[in-house]
Structure 1
Amino acid sequence: MHLNISKRLFIIVLFISFYQFTFAQNTEIEKNRPNLGSNDQTQNREAVDDSVKVSIFDLSVLNPYFNFKKKVYNKVGLNFDFDYNSLYMGSNSKMGEPMAAGGVFRFYGAWELIGRRSNNTGTFIFKLEHRHKYTTIPVIDLSMNMGNLGIFGVTFNNNRFRTTHLYWKQKLVKGRLILLAGFFDATDFFDIYALGSPWAHFNNLNFTTGLSATALPGDAYLGLTAGAWLTDHIYAIAGFGDQNSDPTLIFRGFETFTKYEFFKHAEIGYTSAKEYVFLDNIHLSIWHRDNNRELGTGWGWGMVFSATKYINKKWLPFFKASYTEKGESLLEAAVSTGIGYQPKPDGHQFGIGFSWGRPNADTFGQKLEDQYVIESFYRIQLSKRIAFTPGLMYIIKPAMNPMQNSIFLGSMRARFTL
């Protein structure tokens, strides 16, 4: 009975899609309208990768392949990519494992099936991955292993084969409204932030979505989300999804959805221009999560404030603050600030940030000392499709490490995309 409810929701979204299609063919196209969502949302990530203009080497030998991809898109509306990501992190930690490394292979794409060449497209979006460790522990476990309350390399786990995206995205009202239904990453549509990609920017979750002070669900849950441009400068996003969804057993989400143990979120934001929605952005995000009997976690709520400013097409200072009530997040409150610098648009990038965090006493059953983090990275575009990102991190007062007052880490991340 309850299973039919979730199926009906998908049918409703598909009905709207086909209804809109009848009007889409004669709609005047509004060019350069950005996709609401993070810069790691599949279509946005493809656009970011395609926009790279500054690199050390030009691998023109791959041009026939990319020309083939363009022909496929022009003929059938399918845009697809492969990438491989690798991350190594080493430290001077005297507790637990001092280093970890791992890799992620991804095949992802967006297939425009309805309303092509209009702003009211209906798109099937997919992302299949294989996440694996190289070392004793995966990178995602390194932080807690050394007694630091946080997460490094949040996407570098040991899930093996998984389905991260499998959803329908429908644009309506000349692209001003989007509806999503299916399996997707909640962080693609929550706390939109220019330097928040674990594939391209900071490694520490304290500088990405929610700042470790948000009880985020897994990054592939069954849900519904809607986003809208309320004006040319103001946008809103809201959605909910099943906390029990498992990307390694993707269709089990249809069963767990009817337990009604949801993560819910809403965001209101302002940007100076639509094309700068990631870069010139101020927003407030709020969230709530239900009790989760399967995971044994309690309810909670919180909020995130974020502000970034794009200056002279080079500088990107940011300020973020997050607070949670219960929810069993790692941190109860956190503040992060820093700056990104790109000498030329769409090229190499430097970033540095400082973060303060107060451990969540409700999660750990005791009051722990505040933690501080400094992290920097420099992404080097060897070619338009190959990037290396060395990084440094300094942790002050790791809350669960009685052996050290500070820990120093170095990292190297590589990404190759086709």
Structure 2
Amino acid sequence: MRIFTKLLISGTFCICPLLSAAQDAAQDSNPRFGGPDAVESQLEEDRLTWNERRNQWKDKYGFGVSFDYTSVILTANETFSDSTGMGGIARLYGAWDLVGEGAGALVWKFEHRHAYGDTSPFDFSLGQMGYVGLQEPPFNDSDFRTQNLYWRQRFDGGRSTLIAGVLDVTDYVDAFALASPWLHFMNFAFSTGSAAIGLPNDAAVGVAYGTMLNDNIYVIGGITDTNGDPSRPFEGFDNFFSDNEYFKSVEIGWTTSQDRIIFDNTHLTLWHKDRQDELGVASGWGVAFSYSRYLNENYMPFIRGAYTDEGGSLLQKSLSVGMGRQMEAFSGLLGVGINWGEPNEDTFGPGLSDQYAVEAFYRIPLGKRFAVTADVQYIKDPALNPDESSLWMMNGRVRFAF
């Protein structure tokens, strides 16, 4: 599994078989709640970069903390004005086991998001390309923010997990092994809901619960406030009980075995979002499905799609197919995907053309702390740019982990 295992830190519960100590291996035999960007999933990978003292903190006191910095540059051959979108994110994140042996923990993630010029990666697709979609959506210009601050409690030997507090719903809704904007595809069409879920704002106050029903079937459900503000996260607690505008989801999934959730995963996700009165966003609902399988410890084909009825999503119908593959050259990870998407007419109006996107990325780890990703995309029929029948993108990403 080698580097592929290290990069595919994912699944609706996450198994991260990265640690050699017997105690850590035993803990990894339990399902871990969260997708590839969930704090505890990322910490498991980051332990490879920690010095002896930081590993001792984790083993002796249950305290783990990491810092990373990631930069992204997007370019396109035809744009409205700005041909590049650039930005970076600094993240400080960690978890502290305070109750039992890993049963109860305080989990946090603080970020500083910033653009390098006039156009951030978040704004580049819609604002400069006329493509109904997002590229590297976390990379905006929102400055300091609280992304996560919640309590995590495990039950039944780790087979069930409850999280409550300031959540990021993309950590548990329609999670997928190759969906991390820090590690994998840049186009949001290959991420949560295939760009066809009306997600709530970040820093959503709420609660989510996941459990294994048997050796193969799991279920996850959650409810959060839709009007979170990462710059004022504690206001979300008042919003949750006073505004009564919620995002609800339930997911049922199947895996070949508990320890293969990270690799072999099929799930169906149902969601509903209340109307956001202040923003004027209509209520909506939808369904998403996902299939991925890790074959011969080398290939991961996937099929993912979604349908939504209103709810403020980017797309109302979306279908993505592709594959990830571990490569011998530079121990890299190759990902290739194709997406078809129908823009949400409730969000953008009727009569827009269907869009097609093809993406290929190659991620190369250069030592334990540094990785470089090269990315190329072909966009066919960008719906908000009728003057262009196709666009090409050449993109890059670098990540430092400390």
Name the TM-score, length of structure 1 as normaliser.
0.87
1:147 matched to 2:144? The reply is: no
**Counterpart in the other structure of 1:286:** 270
Larger Rg: 1
8 Å contact from structure 2 (residues 120, 140) kept in 1: yes
**Counterpart in the other structure of 1:92:** 77
- List runs of 5+ in structure 2 lacking aligned partners: 1-25
1:177 matched to 2:174? The reply is: no
CA distance in 1, matches of 2:361, 2:207: 34
**Counterpart in the other structure of 2:280:** 296
**Counterpart in the other structure of 2:5:** none
**Counterpart in the other structure of 2:396:** 412
CA separation of 1:31/1:45 partners in 2, compared to 1, >3 Å: closer, same or farther?
closer
- The structural deviation recorded for 1:232 is 1.4
**Counterpart in the other structure of 2:96:** 111
CA distance in 2, matches of 1:357, 1:211: 9
- The structural deviation recorded for 1:31 is 5.3
**Counterpart in the other structure of 1:129:** 111
Of 177, 180, 184, the residue aligned with 1:194 is 177
Identity of aligned residues (%): 41
- The structural deviation recorded for 1:404 is 0.8
CA distance in 2, matches of 1:329, 1:124: 31
CA distance in 2, matches of 1:96, 1:233: 51
- The structural deviation recorded for 1:362 is 1.6
CA root-mean-square deviation: 1.6
**Counterpart in the other structure of 1:274:** 258
CA distance in 2, matches of 1:47, 1:31: 10
**Counterpart in the other structure of 1:46:** 43
SS at match of 1:174: helix
SS at match of 1:248: coil
1:138 matched to 2:135? The reply is: no
Equivalent residue runs for 1:192-271 within 5 Å = 192-258=175-241, 259-271=243-255
- The structural deviation recorded for 1:286 is 0.7
- The structural deviation recorded for 1:269 is 0.5
Q: Which deviations, in whole Å up to 9, do the C-alpha atoms of 1:150-193 show, x marking residues without a partner?
A: 00011101110000010000001111111111001001011021
CA distance in 2, matches of 1:188, 1:250: 17
CA separation of 1:70/1:50 partners in 2, compared to 1, >3 Å: closer, same or farther?
closer
- The structural deviation recorded for 1:127 is 0.3
Q: Which deviations, in whole Å up to 9, do the C-alpha atoms of 1:59-106 show, x marking residues without a partner?
A: xxx7xx611101111221101100001000111123232111000000
Q: Which residue identity is paired with 1:280?
A: D
Q: Which residue identity is paired with 2:285?
A: W
CA distance in 1, matches of 2:273, 2:256: 32
- The structural deviation recorded for 1:30 is 6.1
CA distance in 2, matches of 1:48, 1:278: 14
SS at match of 1:247: coil
- The structural deviation recorded for 1:387 is 0.5
CA distance in 1, matches of 2:252, 2:331: 30
**Counterpart in the other structure of 1:157:** 140
Q: Which residue identity is paired with 1:39?
A: P
Q: Which deviations, in whole Å up to 9, do the C-alpha atoms of 1:345-380 show, x marking residues without a partner?
A: x95200000000011112222221000000010000
8 Å contact from structure 1 (residues 143, 150) kept in 2: yes
**Counterpart in the other structure of 1:36:** 33
8 Å contact from structure 1 (residues 393, 409) kept in 2: yes
CA distance in 2, matches of 1:178, 1:163: 22
Name the TM-score, length of structure 2 as normaliser.
0.90
Q: Which deviations, in whole Å up to 9, do the C-alpha atoms of 1:199-221 show, x marking residues without a partner?
A: 10011100111111111112321
Q: Which residue identity is paired with 1:126?
A: W
CA distance in 2, matches of 1:40, 1:171: 19
Q: Which deviations, in whole Å up to 9, do the C-alpha atoms of 1:233-278 show, x marking residues without a partner?
A: 1111000100111011111112211211000001000111222213
Q: Which residue identity is paired with 1:170?
A: Q
SS at match of 1:249: coil
